[in-house]
Chains A and B, each alone.
Chain A
Amino acid sequence: MDADRLDLSALDPTADGERYEAMVSRIMERAAPELRRRAARESLFGALADWAWPALSAAAVLALLSGAALALTRQQVSADDNIVTVLDAMELAEPVSRWIVEERTPTTSDLIFALEGGENR
């Protein structure tokens, strides 16, 4: 099939090198503003990408620390709520644990009754 090819090289725009180069130059001149805009956009995205990982890492560490602190605080509150249960676990004599819960200083008579194995009120 190539043997049938017509010689159209006289129509080849690259045959006139000077004019061809001028044509390429005109296209590149007109393309320059758009290429600059694209390059600027790319560098902005690049800068954002450079900052993204450190920022995300810092946020992740902060989130972990916050979570840990929150968990510890909840544990503390839970321990305060369970004070009666702890007293029960210590198996103190009933009058003594009552004084602690009521935050009351035992009177002399309370102590005598307690020592005698009696029950004070």
Chain B
Amino acid sequence: MKGQRFGEAARQGVTMSEADRDLVERARAGDSAAFETLVRRHLRAAYAVACSVLREASDAEDVCQDAFIAALEQLDTVQPEKFVAWLLRIVKNRAISIQRQQQVRRSMPLEWANGARGREDPAADAERSALRQRLEAALEPLPAKQREVLLLHDLEGWKHREIGDLLGMKEGTVRYTLFEARRAVRARLGGESHKEK
């Protein structure tokens, strides 16, 4: 996952912020391809952060879309090397805002597969859907901070230091929060979905 996230930049030993810098500069000048690369590079992390606050997939998607557009409109105000942290703060703030507006609404489980159509392997889809629902049920009772740390680390592949920088936490606190989140999720899953990588 980390390899996917960093892609070519990681293979060339370029850090994320260094790789973002050029893309941000080009996107500021209206380069559509550069902006799309930024979107593809950070959409997963944005989605993970949105999901750590919101339960509904469509809300998380909307928040991600809004956040990327807001980021583009304010792109002149950000230091290019701090783009991702800045973007994820926008995502989180918007997600919290949506959450407050929807407090009367009952939270629904994430249903990413709702929009699936024309699948080639319905059996695999069904299996994935069942696993996803179990994960969602296990994640739901976690405190938001634990969900965010867990999703950023185990889903998105961020390092402890990167998560700490984003959330304003010490690396040791991130490790402990991650440990607690994993223990809670495993307890709820009964150890069945624990897969070592």
Q: Interface residues, chain A, CB within 8 Å of chain B?
A: 1-16, 18-20, 22-24, 26-28, 30-32, 34-42
Report the bound CA distance from A16 to B121 in whole Å.
12
Within the complex, which residue of B51, B65, B116, B136 is in contact with A16, where a contact is CB–CB below 8 Å?
A: B116
Closest to B110 in A: A11
* A15-B128 contact given A3-B196, A27-B65, CB 8 Å threshold: yes
Let me know if B83 is at the binding interface, CB within 8 A: no
* A4-B182 contact given A13-B44, A38-B28, CB 8 Å threshold: yes
Given contacts A10-B128, A31-B39, 9 further A-B contacts (CB under 8 A): A6-B150, A6-B193, A8-B135, A10-B132, A11-B51, A11-B135, A15-B112, A19-B112, A35-B27
Report the bound CA distance from A52 to B29 in whole Å.
20
Within 8 A of A (CB), among B174-193: 175, 179, 182, 185-186, 193
- Top 6 A-B residue pairs of the complex, sorted by shortest distance between their CB atoms: A39-B30, A38-B30, A7-B195, A10-B132, A8-B155, A10-B131
* A28-B185 contact given A9-B155, A10-B135, A11-B110, CB 8 Å threshold: no
* A28-B32 contact given A8-B135, A8-B151, CB 8 Å threshold: yes
Interface string of B55-86 (1 = CB under 8 A from A): 00000010011001100110000000000000
Task: Output the least CB separation between A18 and chain B (Å).
Answer: 7
Closest to A14 in B: B44
Flag if B69 contacts A30 (CB, 8 Å): yes
Let me know if B105 is at the binding interface, CB within 8 A: no
Flag if A35 contacts B197 (CB, 8 Å): no
Give chain B's interface residue range (CB within 8 Å of chain A): 35 or more
Within 8 A of A (CB), among B6-60: 27-32, 35-36, 39-40, 43-44, 47, 51
Let me know if B118 is at the binding interface, CB within 8 A: yes
Point out the residues of chain A lying under 8 angstroms from B131, CB to CB. Answer: 10
Report the bound CA distance from A93 to B194 in whole Å.
123
Flag if B197 contacts A41 (CB, 8 Å): no
Flag if B32 contacts A6 (CB, 8 Å): no
Flag if A42 contacts B44 (CB, 8 Å): no
Point out the residues of chain A lying under 8 angstroms from B65, CB to CB. Answer: 23, 26-27, 30
A-B contacts, 27 of them at CB < 8 A, read: A4-B179, A6-B154, A6-B193, A6-B195, A7-B194, A7-B197, A9-B1, A11-B136, A11-B151, A11-B155, A12-B155, A14-B4, A15-B112, A16-B113, A16-B115, A18-B118, A20-B43, A23-B64, A24-B40, A27-B68, A28-B35, A30-B69, A31-B72, A32-B32, A34-B69, A37-B30, A38-B30
Report the bound CA distance from A5 to B116 in whole Å.
27
Point out the residues of chain B lying under 8 angstroms from A7, CB to CB. Answer: 154, 193-195, 197
